[in-house]
Amino acid sequence: MTDHSISLPSPAKLNLFLHITGQREDGYHELQTLFQFIDICDELSFNTKQERSITIEPAIEGVSLEENLIYKAAQSLWPFTSEQIGVHIALTKRLPMGGGIGGGSSNAATTLLALNQLWNCNLSIDQLADLGRDLGADVPVFVRGHAAFAQGIGELLTPVEPKAPFYLLVKPNCHVSTGQIFTDKYLTRDTPPIRIAHALKLGGKNDCLEVVKKHNPEVDEAFRWLQNYGDVKLTGTGACLFIAYDNIEDAKRVSASIPKKWQFWICQGCNVSPTHLALNQWIKSKRARGSIAD
Ligand SMILES: C[C@@](CO)(OP(=O)(O)O)[C@H](O)COP(=O)(O)OP(=O)(O)OC[C@H]1O[C@@H](n2ccc(N)nc2=O)[C@H](O)[C@@H]1O
Ligand SMILES: Nc1ncnc2c1ncn2[C@@H]1O[C@H](COP(=O)(O)OP(=O)(O)O)[C@@H](O)[C@H]1O
């Protein structure tokens, strides 16, 4: 890595629980959720160039360049750059899309954090989180880079330190439509609000689960299979399901018999985002080379 290039991991997240406490006049739902990162990541490599263009390789199947959240995030920083600077971004995609683990939001946040450095935009984390919110409800938590209790429509974040167990994460073979879940009239929308201390001690449930299972028989089937092996949770609006284990061997034992049709990962919770750990390392070595004043 040089002063003109940086490679960063872009992690997934889990919603350890997701309560819907109400609905606003504009249709958006008021939530209480606990976000924790996990150590499975996409990888983004950024190389600046002396021409005003943003290129991404390879393209994501089914997502045009202009729709790619990486492109949108880079574009949102244009107003804070000089005319003659651009970027080429190499993407290694490992996180499944539309699984409720936030890969797209994470990629957007990683892009904001990287280009803020490489393009010398000098924006604060608060400013980057504000830009991120316009790209997606989950982008700010990835920009801030700490596990968080979220309220409002997901944008009011309080950093927290939940336990960081191992997780068995399973992806049923289907794509859940977030819009369809949030418009279902049978969705639970009246869970009473809880306090942070309660949330950390006792956890909670995912209010989307029943509606997600109803619309997606494959999630229902995977849920019933996993129920034999622990306390199964849905992340976000799905489709991914997870079980927490204190011991990685337990997760491995269960994974050995998972039906072949479902993708799975064994991973660990992280309360600090791997993106921030790598970025701080890069800033440190840049300082050591004398390129940034302390
Ligand atoms: C609910 C969460 C929890 O993490 O689900 P996942 O996407 O992770 O599964 C997210 O906040 C989702 O974030 P994101 O997927 O970026 O949502 P958006 O694009 O902002 O919204 C998609 C659609 O979901 C509905 N929506 C979303 C968030 C919210 N608090 N209330 C809503 O009603 C709206 O109808 C909106 O048009
Ligand atoms: N860089 C990106 N990575 C993943 N998905 C992206 C990206 N850019 C745009 N998208 C779109 O965002 C949608 C949601 O992606 P993602 O954040 O991975 O899932 P989820 O919101 O379910 O956690 C994808 O289905 C895709 O159409």
Q: What is the mean pLDDT of each run of 10 residues along the chain (294 residues)?
A: 89 98 94 98 97 97 97 97 93 95 98 97 97 95 98 93 98 93 97 94 95 97 98 97 98 97 98 98 91 60
CB 70 within 8 A of CB 103: no
pLDDT at site 48: 97
Nearest CA to ligand 1 atom 35: 179
Q: Which two tokens stand for residue 17?
A: 């629980």
Measured in Å, residue 130 CA sits from the centre of ligand 1 at 17
How many domains are contained in the chain? 1
pLDDT (0 to 100) of residue 294:
55
Q: Is position 71 within any domain?
A: yes
Cα separation, 65 vs 60, in Å, equals 8
Question: Does 180 reside within a domain?
Answer: yes
- Quote the ligand 2 centre to 97 CA distance (angstroms): 5
Q: Tell me, yes or no, whether 206 lies in a domain.
A: yes
- DSSP3 helix / strand / coil % (the chain, rounded to 5): 35, 30, 35
Domain membership flag for residue 251 = yes
Residues 166 and 243: their CA atoms lie apart, in Å, by 8
The neighbour count for residue 53, using CB atoms within 10 Å, is: 10
Domain region containing 102:
5-288
Task: Determine the longest span between alpha carbons in the chain, in angstroms.
Answer: 59
In a domain, 293, yes or no: no
The pLDDT of residue 293 is 55
Whole-number pLDDT of residue 231 = 97
Is position 294 within any domain?
no
Q: Tell me, what's the pLDDT at 292?
A: 62
User: For 103, phi and psi rounded to 5 degrees?
Assistant: -60, -45
Q: Which ligand is nearest to the CA of 134?
A: 1
CATH number of the structural domain spanning residue 169: 3.30.230.10
Confidence at residue 136, expressed as pLDDT on a 0 to 100 scale: 93
- Look-up of token digits 């006049």: 25
Which residues does ligand 1 sit against, CB inside 6 Å? 15, 27-29, 31, 33, 100, 102, 105, 136-138, 153-154, 178-179, 182, 236-237
Q: What residues are labeled active site?
A: 13, 138
